[in-house]
């Protein structure tokens, strides 16, 4: 078995193959620069009602974190630029993680921490961001969350000195004091590069149709690569891709942490802002905003990527959830919201979400510790829930707290006992949720969606390269999985990535060994799925007969 693979953006590619996360992710930024916003509980209800499954906040407000618990929404929390000086102290950051993150995780699915905002535009914050990020990673490591929560800092598109054509994309050398340490950090920690892209501000240099994803044909061809572009968003994003490639040989994933379109301006005025003199704010309208964001969502979720990265998952956050009446700057800055403060829609926008019609059972964050402990003891004892994954060194032991452990045990019992309300009672300490509470390599089992009840075993996207390689070597060696089809020129050799090869081998072993939880463990580096991961001529066999 070959021991060397190219692990380059294997995660998005495999997700496309699995088809349970085909295309990209679209979330929303929840800015709070206003004095008339609804309560956190009302916001929680609003985002659930509109099927918004990914949310970014700019701080770590405990009321917001609590309101988003046990509903499956993935959350990016933030650190204000004004707080970066405090984050130079490791003890302060340790305390912040202990008090602002750990009490809510994993009931609140915190996936990312953004440290600062557009720090290259703020001389006071620029040199503080990366040391603060390192302290955050160190603090996460101490509580067993390193790798499960990614850390980055969103930059503005202005960090590029050149963006046209996209292949000439390059970072502005004047920001090297930040970019050098930042890119080293992202590479070391396998964290994403986060950037804010606003094609709206490119209208002066491009047609409105090109900015609104409405061009029926190519708007230009990159003379260096031959890539054809039909919209400005892809051109801007690929310019960032090429700028990163010039600095780092290993691909760094990108998250677009802000993009959007204003619904109101000052009435046809030119924007008197640096580098925005060509933008006429008469383009700020409800119709244009609806068109841009609707077409953006369609583009992100159709799985086409960008011309330079067609196989990569797009992850984009739309700015902003609400209009913010206290935001500084021209009128358009206060009118990017999808909703008015009274929670009426500014315009109708349909989010794809990730709902499946399935349900899980988790511990209520309102339950007392004594009631939860009694319920957990019953579930893992007389209730015969499988709690082996909660043992030390197993995939669901961390975070080592009562709510997390009880949630896993409750769900195991619930799935085995008919998914009834009674099976999720636990004396009033359990609640049914409709979004997957799984995190990292800790998978909350769920009744199979396959019409025949089949399941498959694939490699976890959260597993480290070394762990996957060791597990793959074992599966194809002592484990006696049939790995002949992932050899060169065979049906499952492509894509030639460690994640794809390990997934095929893991499934072969899993099916041959009873399709049990134990046979899909691989020391926490594999997960069970209930949608067939086969693709093309590569068939992931199920229900072997011997």
Active site residues: 118, 258
- How many Å apart are CA 520 and CA 348, to the nearest integer? 43
Cβ(446)–Cβ(360) below 8 Å: yes
In terms of C-beta distances under 8 Å and separation of at least 24 residues, what long-range contacts does 340-346 make, across chains too? 341/34, 341/36, 341/37, 341/38, 342/38, 343/38, 343/42, 343/46, 346/263, 346/286, 346/289
What backbone phi and psi angles, to 5 degrees, belong to 282? -70, -15
Q: Yes or no: say if 360 and 424 are a contact pair by the CB < 8 Å rule.
A: no
8 Å CB contact between 43 and 321: yes
What's the CA gap between 182 and 189, in Å, rounded?
Answer: 11
* Omega within 30 of 0 (cis) for the link into 399: yes
Residue 351 backbone phi and psi in degrees, to 5: -95, 140
Instruction: At 489, list the tokens.
Output: 């020129």
Helix, strand, or coil (residue 10): helix
Reading the block at residue 546, the tokens are: 């011997």
Closest CA to 439 of 380, 352, 524: 524
Cβ proximity of 166 and 227 under 8 Å:
yes
Residue 473 C-alpha from the chain's centroid = 29
User: Where is 92: in which H helix or E strand?
Assistant: helix 90-96
The C-alpha atoms of residue 245 and residue 169 are separated, in whole angstroms, by 9
* Residue 122 structure tokens: 């703020």
Let me know: does 328 contact 334? Beta carbons within 8 Å. Answer: no
d(CA 70, CA 507): 30
What is the distance between the alpha carbons of residues 350 and 198, in angstroms, rounded to a whole number? 20
């Amino acid at each position: 078995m070959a021991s060397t693979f190219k692990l380059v953006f294997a995660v998005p590619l495999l997700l496309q193959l699995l088809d349970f996360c085909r295309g990209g992710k679209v979330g929303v930024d929840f800015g709070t620069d206003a004095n008339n916003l609804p309560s956190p509980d009302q916001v929680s209800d609003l985002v659930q009602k509109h099927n918004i499954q990914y949310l970014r906040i700019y701080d770590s407000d405990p009321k917001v974190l609590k309101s988003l618990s046990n509903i499956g929404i993935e959350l990016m929390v933030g650190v204000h630029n004004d707080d970066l000086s405090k984050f130079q102290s490791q003890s302060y950051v340790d305390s912040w993680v202990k008090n602002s993150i750990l009490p809510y995780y994993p009931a609140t699915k915190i996936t990312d921490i953004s440290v600062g905002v557009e720090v290259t535009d703020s001389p006071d914050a620029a040199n503080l961001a990366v040391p603060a990020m390192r302290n955050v990673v160190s603090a996460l490591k101490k509580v067993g969350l390193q790798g499960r929560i990614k850390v980055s800092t969103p930059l503005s598109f202005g960090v590029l000195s050149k963006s046209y054509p996209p292949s000439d994309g390059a970072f502005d050398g004047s920001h090297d004091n930040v970019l050098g340490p930042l890119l080293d950090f992202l590479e070391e920690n396998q964290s994403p590069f986060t950037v804010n892209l606003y094609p709206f501000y490119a209208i002066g240099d491009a047609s409105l149709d090109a900015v609104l994803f409405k061009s029926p044909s190519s708007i230009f061809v990159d003379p260096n690569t031959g890539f054809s572009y039909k919209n400005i968003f892809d051109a801007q994003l690929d310019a960032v891709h090429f700028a990163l490639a010039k600095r780092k040989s290993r691909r760094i994933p990108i998250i677009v942490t802000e993009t959007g379109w204003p619904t109101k301006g000052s009435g046809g005025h030119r924007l008197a802002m640096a580098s925005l003199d060509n933008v006429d704010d008469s383009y700020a309208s409800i119709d244009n905003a609806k068109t841009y964001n609707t077409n953006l969502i369609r583009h992100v979720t159709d799985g086409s990527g960008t011309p330079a990265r067609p196989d990569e998952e797009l992850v984009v956050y739309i700015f902003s959830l609400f209009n913010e009446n206290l935001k500084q700057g021209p009128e358009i800055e206060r009118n990017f919201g999808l909703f008015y403060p009274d929670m009426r829609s500014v315009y109708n926008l349909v989010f794809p979400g990730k709902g499946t019609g399935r349900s899980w059972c988790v511990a209520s964050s309102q339950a007392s510790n004594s009631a939860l402990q009694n319920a957990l003891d019953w579930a893992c004892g007389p209730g015969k829930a499988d709690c082996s994954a909660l043992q030390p060194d197993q995939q669901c032991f961390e975070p080592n707290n009562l709510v997390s452990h009880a949630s896993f045990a409750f769900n195991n019992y619930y799935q085995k006992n008919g998914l009834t309300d009674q099976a999720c009672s636990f004396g009033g300490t359990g609640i049914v949720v409709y979004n997957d509470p799984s995190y990292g390599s800790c998978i909350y089992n769920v009744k199979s969606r396959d019409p025949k009840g089949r399941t498959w075993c694939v490699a976890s996207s959260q597993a480290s390269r070394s762990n996957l390689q060791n597990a793959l070597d074992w599966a194809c060696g002592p484990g006696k999985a049939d790995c002949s089809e992932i050899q060169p020129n065979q049906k499952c050799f492509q894509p030639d990535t460690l994640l794809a090869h390990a997934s095929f081998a893991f499934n072969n072993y899993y099916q041959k060994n009873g399709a049990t939880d134990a046979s899909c463990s691989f020391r926490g580096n594999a997960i069970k799925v209930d949608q067939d991961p086969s693709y093309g001529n590569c068939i992931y066999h199920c229900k072997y007969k011997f």
